[in-house]
Chain A
Amino acid sequence: KQEVTQIPAALSVPEGENLVLNCSFTDSAIYNLQWFRQDPGKGLTSLLLIQSSQREQTSGRLNASLDKSSGRSTLYIAASQPGDSATYLCAASIQGAQKLVFGQGTRLTINP
């Protein structure tokens, strides 16, 4: 059974720092891995999707990497801003690209 873990559960850093969020998964037979952000009381917003054949994806200040052999993905946020404060979730696909298993998220706070 695929299990997805995100550590730490919460992270607080000063504005302007570069930071890395971690995601690990137990079954390397994934189709893709997705990163989302969730603001309090809101739905999820897709950030990046990495196909199983890819090593990384970039969007603006965000860069996500995927290492299937070690069962890990990281989300790198450059030059963090207070508006980046949110919960970040990763999700690994199972049994086909459409079924996702989510981690429990990392709650990120960027302090001005």
Chain B
Amino acid sequence: DAGITQSPRHKVTETGTPVTLRCHQTENHRYMYWYRQDPGHGLRLIHYSYGVKDTDKGEVSDGYSVSRSKTEDFLLTLESATSSQTSVYFCAISGAGIEGWTQYFGPGTRLTVL
């Protein structure tokens, strides 16, 4: 299994509070991704990173920000959590080039916003 950890694994918070989720990899992969998974919507890309300090938006980026100060860490921040952000959040990593585009997923973080 790819070395990807996510923390916390479960979190309950209240509307309006800031929340930061962390993804950590030990594979030295260039690309890192944040997805959310919701019933009826499937998995959707929030943001991704193609290098240290290099990030780009995905399909559902509103209300989320990301940062990557080190190759191994990718942080997802909800500046002011809302109930619509209750979801399961997955981090993924991939290399680059023809042999490297396979994405490997972390175990997920279940976030509940009350």
Q: In the complex, which residue of chain B has the Cβ closest to the Cβ of A53?
A: B98
Contact (Cβ within 8 A) B108 A43 = yes
Chain B positions within 8 Å of A36 at CB level: 105
- Cα distance A43–B88 in the bound complex, in angstroms: 10
- Cα distance A99–B50 in the bound complex, in angstroms: 11
Partner-contacting stretch, out of B14-22, B37-45, B61-69, B71-79: B37-45
Chain B positions within 8 Å of A89 at CB level: 42-43
Q: Tell me if B28 is interfacial: C-beta within 8 Å of chain A.
A: no
The answer, among B31, B42, B98, for a CB contact under 8 Å with A102, is B42
- Cα distance A71–B59 in the bound complex, in angstroms: 21
Whole-angstrom distance between the Cβ of B35 and the nearest chain A Cβ: 8
Q: Tell me if A45 is interfacial: C-beta within 8 Å of chain B.
A: yes
Q: In the complex, which residue of chain A has the Cβ closest to the Cβ of B43?
A: A102
Whole-angstrom distance between the Cβ of B60 and the nearest chain A Cβ: 12
Q: Tell me if A98 is interfacial: C-beta within 8 Å of chain B.
A: yes
Chain A positions within 8 Å of B105 at CB level: 36, 43-46
Chain A positions within 8 Å of B107 at CB level: 42-43
Q: In the complex, which residue of chain A has the Cβ closest to the Cβ of B97?
A: A97
Whole-angstrom distance between the Cβ of A34 and the nearest chain B Cβ: 7
Known: A44-B105, A97-B101, A100-B43. 6 other contacts (CB 8 A): A31-B101, A43-B108, A46-B105, A91-B103, A98-B31, A101-B45
A interface list, Cβ under 8 A from B? 31-32, 34, 36, 42-46, 49, 51, 89, 91, 93, 97-105
Could you jot down 16 A-B contacts, CB within 8 Å? A42-B108, A44-B103, A44-B105, A45-B105, A46-B102, A46-B105, A49-B101, A89-B43, A98-B94, A99-B58, A100-B45, A100-B103, A101-B59, A102-B43, A104-B42, A105-B42
